[in-house]
A and B are shown apart, each in its own frame.
Chain A
Amino acid sequence: MSTNQWLATGNFNTAYQQEQRNFLTHLDRSIFSIFLILLYVWIPLMDLSNKYMLVVDNILIAIVAVMGLNLVTGFAGLISIGHAAFVGIGAYTVASFCQVIGDRHIIITHFWPVMIVISGFVGAAFGAVVGLPALRLKHLYLAIATLSFQMIFQWVINFMSFFNQGQTIFVGRVFWFTGKVGRKDHYMFWYFVILTIVVILGFGIRNLLKTKYGRCLVAVRDNDRAADAMGMNPGLTKVYAFALAGFFAGVAGALHAYVYRGVGFESFTLHESVGYLAMAIVGGLGTLNGSFWGPTALKYLDLQVEHLSEVAGQYLPSTMNLSTAMKPFTFGLVIVLFLMFEPRGIANWWRIAKSYTKLWPFRY
């Protein structure tokens, strides 16, 4: 190719194959590689305490879940207010294995990658079933249908003694080639595992969106009847979008179960569902990198708010529980401000920054 592979200032594609590449320029590829290497090296070098490692792990788990939510809500345009329930199904798949074969069984501790994949597929199966109303419903009606799935899920978990009625079900420590992963390395180990999974799934989504199936999702979002007229199958696409989201959520749920070494119902409530939706929106609906920005931004905000309210709480009467008040307040404020002033999310800032540096020093 004749164009500059390092500092291209525009798109000079001459064939469709060129558009299918993962990285458009060498610069893109090297920036991405350096960033990825930094992620693998930098965090361990930081030597964070377990408390902060847990936050980092949490962010990564949320990224996996939000990638799924972004597929169904961002790309396919089907609003899901029940995503935490799908995450819960993933986690409770691991938990029910623990209940049946014991939480230190070799399948749980040694074959945990298999468990994660199984949870993903169970999540996908539930996603497809819950997606069935999407064949007839749209917009708000569909959102309420997923909401009712969330409520039914919560009730079932709280009701069934098999699931310990929502109390914590323990999951054993896992083994790696080096032996049992101990208390000290636990979060670090899972950081690397989840980061790897995020990279794999991220490339998976990126490639999916370049195929027929990915484009189907976007076409159905924009106008399902027009998509129908052009020979796609909107019903199947919608169910399949829900199944995909269920898969991602299932994987995230299994990871959650392993990282926390236990499954309790309070991590999968309606409040968490709303949180995932907020992360997807703050990151930018219908963008892949939005799924990374959103969870990072909101979880970091949560951490800072907690710090701030701890500091401010010293100057206030002890009857006021500032932390419980500040969390929902800032959370709501961030959502509302983003929707009012930047509805396309942080991904839009990223896009602007990218196009600015691409053309620099010229304005356009």
Chain B
Amino acid sequence: MSYFFQIVVSGMVVGSIYALAALGLVLVYKSSRVANFAHGQIIAAGAFITFYLTTTVGIPIFFSFLASMVITFFLAMSVERIFLRRLIGEPIISVIMVTIGLASIIDGLIYLTPFGTENFSFPPFLPQDPLSLGGVSISWTQLVGMIITFIMIGGFSWFFKKSTVGISMRAVSDDQFGSMSVGISVPRVFGLAWATAGLSAAAAGCIIGNITGLNFDTLHAFGIVVFPVVILGGLDSILGAVVAGIIMGLIQQFASGYLDGNWGLNGTGDVMPYVILLIILLFKPHGLFGIHEIERV
């Protein structure tokens, strides 16, 4: 039974990371209807900036965490300004391909640095021995990562529900012309959406980097695996992203916990999200919390 609870706990940890990573994607999609395929690269960039600031520059890790969030905030904002602002109103394939191109450019830039090929790990700053509760163990990094994740998700929910900027973002996602007519600067909202997505990506990158170690391939793979999560949650819902993230984390951990090794299977944890995604898309195309779009000819 403790094996079961162990899997539940690790599923929750993985799921909350997925939720945080998915959050950035949802933020961008919600306001500007752009599916950001470069999200994984921004996550990786955030993690590497934190690592660089901590080890080479020598800033305490907490402050470099904040600093990298600020840097990616402006980085993502300038990405939006330079590349995506021109593509407002273009067909969806162009927008998708621009983000894929961006991902490729960031790949190239990161491969120029040692981070592209080598493995690093954050200097330990939390107690090393895992916390044990009735046979279920959880490491301090996982626990702290999960707590930070939930604080950030709570903060973003508050931001969207209560703050003026958040409300204007929701207004833009609902109706661009309508929000223009009440004096909301739509391009500025797009920029802010990207910036907040960059911020959350940096946070996700740091937490993932602390748990799994800094490897570029693992980090930027999160940008792809996060798509099943957001589709399951229904592309434009923050609550959906959180719920779907945790569901996906649990599914993945259960798959690799119970299926791997039996019947000669292995690596099912990697493929399960996509199988679930295809099934969901066939039966409930708009996800758990997505909005049904009504089309008119």
A contact set with B: CB distance below 8 Å: 73, 79, 132-133, 136-137, 139-141, 143-145, 147-149, 151-152, 155, 158-159, 223, 225-226, 229, 270, 274, 277-278, 281, 285, 319-322, 324-336, 339-340, 343
1/0 contact string of B77-93 vs chain A (CB within 8 Å): 00000010011001011
B66 within 8 A of A: no
B103 within 8 A of A: yes
B282 within 8 A of A: yes
Q: Could you tell me if A339 and B98 are in contact, using CB atoms closer than 8 angstroms?
A: yes
CB closest chain-B residue, reference A161: B264
Interface core residue of A159, A285, A326 (most chain B CB under 10 Å): A159
- Give the 5 A-B residue pairs with the shortest CB-CB distance, closest first: A329-B108, A332-B104, A335-B101, A332-B105, A325-B111
Q: Could you tell me if A281 and B97 are in contact, using CB atoms closer than 8 angstroms?
A: yes
Binds A, one of B13-21, B164-172, B265-273: B265-273
How far is the CB of B82 from the nearest CB of chain A, in Å?
9
Q: Could you tell me if A151 and B281 are in contact, using CB atoms closer than 8 angstroms?
A: no
1/0 contact string of B18-60 vs chain A (CB within 8 Å): 0000000000000000010000000000000000000000000
Q: Could you tell me if B108 and A274 are in contact, using CB atoms closer than 8 angstroms?
A: no
Q: Which one of A140, A155, A226, A333 contacts B101 once the chains associate, using CB atoms below 8 Å?
A: A333
B11 within 8 A of A: no
Q: Could you tell me if A148 and B104 are in contact, using CB atoms closer than 8 angstroms?
A: no
Bound complex: CA of A225 vs CA of B270, how far in Å? 37
Interface core residue of A148, A149, A329 (most chain B CB under 10 Å): A148
B96: which A residues are within 8 A, CB to CB? 79, 140, 143
B contact set with A: CB distance below 8 Å: 35, 83, 86-87, 90, 92-94, 96-98, 100-109, 111-112, 114, 116-117, 224, 227-228, 231, 235, 265-267, 270-271, 274-275, 277-278, 281-282, 285-286, 295, 297
Q: Could you tell me if A277 and B97 are in contact, using CB atoms closer than 8 angstroms?
A: yes
How far is the CB of B169 from the nearest CB of chain A, in Å?
19
Q: Could you tell me if B108 and A144 are in contact, using CB atoms closer than 8 angstroms?
A: no
CB closest chain-B residue, reference A278: B97
Q: Could you tell me if A328 and B87 are in contact, using CB atoms closer than 8 angstroms?
A: no
Q: Could you tell me if A333 and B105 are in contact, using CB atoms closer than 8 angstroms?
A: yes
B100: which A residues are within 8 A, CB to CB? 274, 277-278, 332, 335
B235: which A residues are within 8 A, CB to CB? 140
B266: which A residues are within 8 A, CB to CB? 159
How far is the CB of A52 from the nearest CB of chain B, in Å?
25
Bound complex: CA of A328 vs CA of B98, how far in Å? 14
Interface core residue of A144, A152, A333 (most chain B CB under 10 Å): A144
**Given A133-B281, A159-B266, A325-B112: A336 in contact with B93 (beta carbons within 8 A):** no
Q: Could you tell me if A329 and B101 are in contact, using CB atoms closer than 8 angstroms?
A: no
A343: which B residues are within 8 A, CB to CB? 90, 94
Bound complex: CA of A147 vs CA of B278, how far in Å? 10
